[in-house]
Structure 1
Amino acid sequence: MNGLTAEVGYVSLIKKGEELCGDRVETVRFEDSTTLVLADGLGSGVKANILSTLTSKIIATMMASGMPVEECVRTVTRTLPICKVRKVAYSTFTVMQVNHQDEMTLLQFDNPSVILLRGGVSIHYPQEELVIDGKKVIKSVVKVKPNDIFLTMSDGALYAGVGKMYNYGWQRDNIIDYLEARYEPDLSAKMACTIIAEECDRLYDHAPGDDTTVAAIRIRPRQTVSLMIGPPEHPEDDQKAVEELLDGGGKTIVSGGTTSNLVARVLDKPLIPTIEYFDPEIPPTAKIQGIDLVTEGVITIGHVLKLAKGYLENEDLSTAWAGKKDGASRIAQLLFEEATDIRFIVGRAINPAHQNPDLPISIVIKMGLIDELAEILRKMGKQVTVSYY
């Protein structure tokens, strides 16, 4: 896709009383395609989890490898274990696959119909009915446009509010109206899912009566964010490291007091500290003309890593950092929501301030933080590079 990328996000609610979710989302990325599968196993708990896991992994792997949909469905049908109680092997599924030719292929079997938001408005798309081994599968091929959001969900979303807020649950049209009313041009795939999942959780009175999963793919322009932390091991590399920071063509972050002074010196711009503590646990930020965000180093990045783990693992429905002004929350916003491509420029110089035996922070810890954060960001679907100086 020319200058575009497929951003993926999902959120799951586990049925009250269960430890495992009966829904499963599987994503496979290749250079020329992104494939997402949402599977909803029959029932709930362990059995449903096994069914949905097998279904999503088989279909995602086969579809991403270019196998015909007929072969994918037949393989799933013949592989799933038979439920001893219901005497059937059953899992619904939705496949969303976008390729480098800007085409989205949708395959839908017994899940609520995919919602396509274009310009913040739900639009209709063509549908073709296929019958494969007695199963009715709906196929669609859509030419994508920038900022299109394709959103799918398990049927737990439609059951939210049954007998409470709504007589017949939260219908697809209700969900569309709710999402359209909260749409913003920069709405990420994960945030779109969170908006729906939070409302489902509220309608269930925070005790979901069924596993509920919302997954989305957003077609978005690429956005680079570059973050520099730590001065280079050799001072003669200072200029080169700062030039790499600025050559990314996107937004820039500088983390660390020594690093901030270095960047300010190379750019010949003043470093302007602030004294506002927006969060007592996070050191205040600073300003350098030409740099989008200047923060403290290890403490702030350590907190960003904690936020990244929660974001990836769906620990919290709401993104508590969204809209906050402390350094860690602002980095999280840039890396998790805005960036598609992330460049870390990591200096290997040992900070003299960290040689105090009462302050056991070393270059190894800093590099370990960045390596772990980079790996989590890759799992989010980001393109991440790390350069060392």
Structure 2
Amino acid sequence: MSVEASFIEVDHCQIHKQGQFVCGDVFLSQKAQGDRVVSVLADGLGSGIKASVLASLTTTMAARFISSDIDITRAAEIIMETLPVCKERRIAYSTFTIVDMDRKGSTRIIEYDNPPYILLRDGKVLEISKQAVPLRSFNDRQTFLQYSSFHVHPGDRIVICSDGVPQSGMGIKPHPLGWGMDRVEEFLVSELACEPEISARLLARRVVHRALQKDEGKARDDTTCGVIYFREPRRTMVITGPPVSRERDSELARKAQEFSGKKIVCGGTTAGIIARELHADVKVDLTSLDPEVPPPSTMAGIDLVTEGTITLSNLCGLLEGDLAGGAMGQENRPGHPLRRNAAMRLATMLLDSDIIDFLVGTRINDAHQDPNLPRELEIRRNVVKRICRILEERHLKETRIKFI
């Protein structure tokens, strides 16, 4: 695989300290000029609202400065000057890690008092030399940044975390001093050995899940893990709605058949057209019944078949809410599995993809003109545009829409 064909997948998972309502860690990732992706993890001192506000301020400033190519030393000094300092410990109220990577693999990492990042290559931890960059003295205390610059290879992963990960389990057997970065590295290596192609989203979730287990199900600190995965892009096509004329039904089915990647069909009418043209059977999966979302179906050659507008509308809510911030809610804690309805399965497939093509039929579906349907039920093309916007802005995906 050539470097030019690579894609930067970024995702994270986090959980707030037991007894708090917000997380004092903030993870932010955004695209920058030059095919770059800038990711920042900030850990506000303490927990709760104050920590969250200071961490949010840190991530916003850091992402803006690095995206604008401001000198890293100067950017760090501005952040340090802006943040208040704890009177007792004489340290800044937020620590941070910044990862700046472009599509050719050129990578810079700046660290300030967070746990060290982990670079994984070929299923093993790779050590990278770091440069200690002195900053101006703040409150009579010499401050240093750790700076790394290197090229990642296709398949490499960079894992960053807040101290809630290595310190999980502290004071509890069998690790009274905490899980520790060495054991975190061992866990990551074992996960990659079992599942070499694991997504950034799932790997981050597993790290936080294991840290929560170390804390016996009650997080003793804000816990965040972010993963940057440099790899070949994963492609998915979502087909929804019948073509504008019946003469183009065969074209719709042919595009589905010829697409190289995962294929999703949303809509009973659309599924019926493709099944008829490809001489396939559609079978409803009655094992996935849900009170809010119609059940999915199965069809040979198609990875997922769902109902149309209701499922897509629920998908918007998932992408904007439950799955938008990487938060591990109560339903995701040990013993509380995710609801596996059709909308959640659809969201999972899209978040595990990088380049998503939407093939949208423009024939009016008579079922959607029913005045008894919910007011928020949008027409197909509008909800697809909304999904694309959410995927691009919040999840850094590449999307394309073609109407047929």
Relative to the length of structure 2, the TM-score reads 0.85
Deviates most, 344-353 or 21-30? 344-353
The code of the aligned residue for 1:269 comes to L
Contact 1:144 1:219 survives alignment (8 Å) = yes
Shift of 1:307: 4.0
CA distance in 1, matches of 2:284, 2:45: 55
Q: How many residues align?
A: 383
CA pair 353-27 structure 1, distance change in 2 beyond 3 A: closer
Give 3-state SS (helix, strand or coil) of 2:78's partner. helix
Give 3-state SS (helix, strand or coil) of 2:64's partner. helix
Give 3-state SS (helix, strand or coil) of 1:74's partner. helix
Q: Tell me the equivalent position of 1:210.
A: 221
Equivalence map 1:116-195=2 (5 Å): 116-133=119-136, 134-165=142-173, 166-183=175-192, 184-195=195-206
Contact 1:278 1:284 survives alignment (8 Å) = no
The code of the aligned residue for 1:370 comes to V
Q: Tell me the equivalent position of 2:21.
A: 19
Equivalence map 1:189-338=2 (5 Å): 189-242=200-253, 245=256, 249-265=260-276, 268-281=277-290, 282-288=294-300, 290-308=301-319, 309-313=321-325, 314-316=327-329, 317=332, 320=337, 327-337=342-352
Give 3-state SS (helix, strand or coil) of 2:322's partner. helix
CA distance in 1, matches of 2:396, 2:40: 15
Q: Tell me the equivalent position of 1:382.
A: 397
CA distance in 1, matches of 2:227, 2:5: 20
Unmatched runs of 5 consecutive residues or more in structure 2: 137-141
Shift of 1:187: 1.0
Equivalence map 1:77-92=2 (5 Å): 77-83=80-86, 89-92=92-95
The code of the aligned residue for 2:380 comes to K
Unmatched runs of 5 consecutive residues or more in structure 1: none
2:351 is equivalent to residue 351 of structure 1: no
TM-align CA RMSD? 2.7
Contact 1:226 1:250 survives alignment (8 Å) = yes
Aligned equivalent of 2:6, options 4, 7, 13: 4
Relative to the length of structure 1, the TM-score reads 0.88
Contact 1:354 1:361 survives alignment (8 Å) = no
The code of the aligned residue for 1:15 comes to K
Shift of 1:291: 3.8
CA distance in 2, matches of 1:380, 1:94: 20
Deviates most, 162-171 or 100-109? 100-109
CA distance in 1, matches of 2:257, 2:242: 15
CA distance in 1, matches of 2:314, 2:246: 28
Contact 2:233 2:354 survives alignment (8 Å) = yes
The code of the aligned residue for 2:165 comes to A
Contact 2:204 2:226 survives alignment (8 Å) = yes
CA distance in 1, matches of 2:286, 2:28: 40
Contact 2:6 2:104 survives alignment (8 Å) = no
CA pair 362-112 structure 1, distance change in 2 beyond 3 A: closer
